[in-house]
Structure formats: C-alpha cells, structure tokens
Amino acid sequence: MSEFRVTPIAKLHAEFSVPGDKSMSHRAAILAGLSNGACTLRNFLPSEDCINTLNAMMALGAPCEILDELAGFGPLNLRLYGQSMRLRAPNGPIDCGNSGTGMRLLAGLLAGQSFTSELCGDASLSSRPMGRITIPLRQMGANIEPCGEKPGCAPLVIQPAKLNSIRYEMPVASAQVKSAVLLAGLFADGTTTVVQPAETRDHTERLLASFGVSTRQDGNAISIDGGQILQACDFTVPGDISSAAFWLVAAAALPGARLLIKDVGLNPTRTAILKVLSRMGVRMLESVHHSQGEPVGNIEIHGASLTGTTLLESEIPNLIDEIPVIAVAAALASGRTIIRNARELRVKETDRITSVVHNLRAMGAVVDEFDDGMEIQGGHPLHGADLDSFGDHRIAMAFAIAGLFATGQTVIHQTDCVNTSYPGFAHHLAAILNQRSRIEDFTLPILSRS
C-alpha cells in the first residue's frame, strides 16, 4: 500500500499538462465502440476507471489496438473499432472497478440490448446508489435489477429488453444519470427527454455531436431520437480540469507562485473552480481554443493571499469533484468559506463531507459539518498529520496539497487509489516538492506499441 509524504514548499514556478479528462475518456470509449468504424482516440486517460470502461467495450465486441502507452499505466493513444450499434454478449460480468461513471453509463448502454449482462464493481462502488439510474431505465422498459448486499446497489443484472422513450425529470443534478438515459435513448423507439434540475456537465451531448448524433436542448431539457447510428470519428481528449484543480489550488495559495497548465479542458460546465478561485483573490489568465466540440486551452495562475467565499448553489454540480481541494483552499484562506447544497458528496467514492472534515480537523483547521456541506473558518495554521485517503483518490490528492502548506510532515496513507483518475500524480507531486519547473520534469515516458 503506497503513501505520500509531503512537506511544505516555499516556491512553485511550473509549466505542465495533466492527463486526459476522465469524463470524456469514458464517453469516448463508449461512443467509439458503438460507432460505425475505426476511431483513433488520443490522450485517452490511462486510469483504472477508464481502462475498465475500455475493457467493457472490448468485452462487448469492439476490438482495440493500442498505439502508445503511458509507461507503467496503460493505453494513451488507441484505435477502437466500432460495431455499428451492434454489441455482442460479454463472456462474464463486466467489472467497473471504482467507477460510478463507468457503471452508470454502461447500464444505460446495456439496458436496451438483446443479451443479458452484469455490471459489478469494488466495495466502494457496490455501496453507491444505483436507484438513480435503475428508476428511469425501468420506466423505459429496461429489465435491470440491483442485486447487491446493500439494497439498490450493484451488481446490476440487465436482461434483454425493448425500450420505449420517456420524458424523465431527474431529481438530482447528475450528468451520469442524464448520460445513462441518453445512451439508453439511442436504443429506444421515439424521442427520449431528460430534464435536469440544474445544469450538469455536457460532455455526452458534445461528444455525441462529434459522432454525428444530434441532441436538442430546450432550457434544461435534453432530447435524443432513438435509432441514430454513430459515425466513426477521431478524438483527442483534453487535460482534466478536475486533476489540474489540485495544482491550481497549490499555486493559488502560495503568494508569488506561477503555474501554467497547458491543453486542459475548459468546458463551461466544468470551470466553476476558476470562478471560485477568482473570488478568493487569485489572478488568472485563460486562453481558449476549440477542438472537436470541446473548449481547450491554457490556464496561467498567480498565487495570492486567499480570502474565503460562499459556493453558489448553481455552481455545485459544476465543481462537485473539486470540493475536497476547494475545502483545502478555504482552510488556507482568511475568513469563512461556506459549502452547502452539496449532499451529493456523501455518495461519491467515500462520504466526502465526512472524510474532508475529518482530515482538515486532524491538520488543525476549524470546520463545522452539515448534512449538505461544511463551513470552514480559514486562517488557522495547518500542521502535518497522519491521514487516510479512505480509499478515495480525490481525498488522497486534496490532502497532498494541504500537506504542501502544513508545518512538518504530512503522511497520506492508501494512495494507490489516485490511479483511478490521475496516473502520474505521484510523479507530479515529487516534481513540485523538488521545485521543478520545466515541462520535461513532469513528463512520463511513452511507449510506442504500433
């Protein structure tokens, strides 16, 4: 079991890029596998979560050719041969590992197939709520059964079914639920509509458009017509802003620091973290260009003395994955930061409200816990501590960043989990601790397989 040992830094001047976006990599693998030909995916995220989704598409009949690998992690550039919407029965259960996104999107994909399938995952995933997808999918006619020890949880057994279209009002603002229903809608008769209570990340809609499938948006309602065939295309995955967020906070909280993150996804449904950091007093420059339907660009950030802020309710779905590291920024800021309306954090890879509050308090921060969030009284100096990741990648990484600002040494235990979303995080952390600055210091070797 690996661990991070972190000590304070005095300087951060660096320029690098982070690995590919997790949300987009899952979707690119699924859509490419469904499409009508060969799709080259570049800068795919070779993380355990996304590799599981890639393996799932291979198990469902889409052959994959690996062109290049990120050494020690997995496929970076690859060619997936789409099956023109005709998937085949897998030989056994499909393992989604730790990934809620993988399981929920694949459930949507499999709901309308003519074969039986089973989706399973690790202990964390087997305790996360699946009712949010089984309810709408059953309304569409799916025969999907959560068979876990915990009611409503994975494994999910999906029997053959013919789907009808529905209009579904989602009770929670979840891009995973929206995407599961839209993917099922591709295999349903008629037009399926999902209404979101608040805007959620729109990568499914954008990527479907790149594959020649149109969705229509009317306010917060998104509709898709069944029976469309995805047209094969190539896609380069931009860097993951949720991974960049760790370093953005590290630079933001260090007066005099300068950080340039290159080629990162700047989709407006993902960039609320930048607005929050600006409100906290950070100076930032963004340059955006578009690539295959997704905004991509560089972010240059200059460190400052941070001040607390209140997260807006409308921002929460847009920065849900960044809240652990925003809480760390809040502890380093002067004044009060309020995070409410974020109950969803309790059903992520861990209960992220409990785990963040626990670890912040262990470092000397002053935090009140609420059912739906927390309030952090910033400005109390952090001290090094012995912390657990609780097996949650974002908790491990957020507290590695906290350790950069705490007196003494911070040890984070159980850090293998970072590979679910950020292969190479340990390498980047070591480069930051050693005050490296050049892109080459952050680059991992790539092995050609073609």
Binding flag, residue 299, ligand S3P (CB under 6 A): no
Among 12, 106, 154, 175, contact with ligand S3P (rule: CB under 6 A): 175
Q: 340-379: which residues touch ligand S3P (CB under 6 A)?
A: 344
Helix (H) or strand (E) holding 27: helix 22-34
Cβ closest to ligand S3P, residue 254 vs residue 328: 328
Of 69 and 321, which has the nearer Cβ to ligand S3P? Answer: 321
- According to the binding rule CB under 6 A, does residue 28 interact with ligand S3P? no
Rule CB under 6 A: say whether 47 interacts with ligand S3P.
Answer: no
In sequence order, which residues have a C-beta less than 8 Å from that of residue 159 and are 6 or more positions away?
116, 143, 144, 145
Q: Does 23 bind ligand S3P (CB under 6 A)?
A: yes
Among 322, 385, 381, 325, residue whose Cα is nearest residue 359: 385
C-alpha span between 241 and 248 (Å, rounded): 9
Applying CB under 6 A, the span of 121-129, 174-182, 213-221, 404-412 interacting with ligand S3P comes to 174-182
> Is residue 321 flagged as an active site residue?
yes
Burial of 440 (0-12, 13-18, 19+ CB in 10 A): exposed
If the CB atoms of residues 113 and 242 are measured against ligand S3P, the closer one turns out to be 242
Which position among 95, 321, 388, 392 bears the catalytic label?
321
User: Out of 52, 55, 126, 176, which residue is the one contacting ligand S3P (CB under 6 A)?
Assistant: 176
Residue 200, interface with ligand S3P (CB under 6 A)? Answer: yes
For the chain, the maximum distance between any two Cα atoms, rounded to a whole number of angstroms, is: 61
Token pair 């065939």 in the structure block, residue: 229
Q: Does 101 bind ligand S3P (CB under 6 A)?
A: yes
Q: Is 321 in the site for ligand S3P (CB under 6 A)?
A: yes
Cβ contacts of residue 218 below 8 Å, gap of 6+? none
| C-alpha distances in Å from residue 236, one per residue of 7, 28, 125, 199 | 36, 9, 28, 25
Q: Which residue has the tokens 């198990």?
A: 59
13-16 and 258-265 as β-strands: parallel, antiparallel, unpaired? parallel
Q: For residues 315 and 321, which CB has a smaller minimum distance to ligand S3P in the complex?
A: 321
Q: Under the phi-then-psi rule, with left for phi > 0, alpha for psi from -120 to 50, and beta for the rest, what region is 338?
A: beta
State yes or no: residue 394 binds ligand S3P (CB under 6 A).
Answer: no
Contact status: 253 vs ligand S3P (CB under 6 A) = no
Name the one range near ligand S3P by CB under 6 A: 84-92, 168-176, 265-273, 303-311.
Answer: 168-176
- 271 is a site residue for ligand S3P (CB under 6 A): no
Catalytic residues: 321
Q: Which residues bind ligand S3P (CB under 6 A)?
A: 23, 101, 174-176, 179, 200-201, 320-321, 344
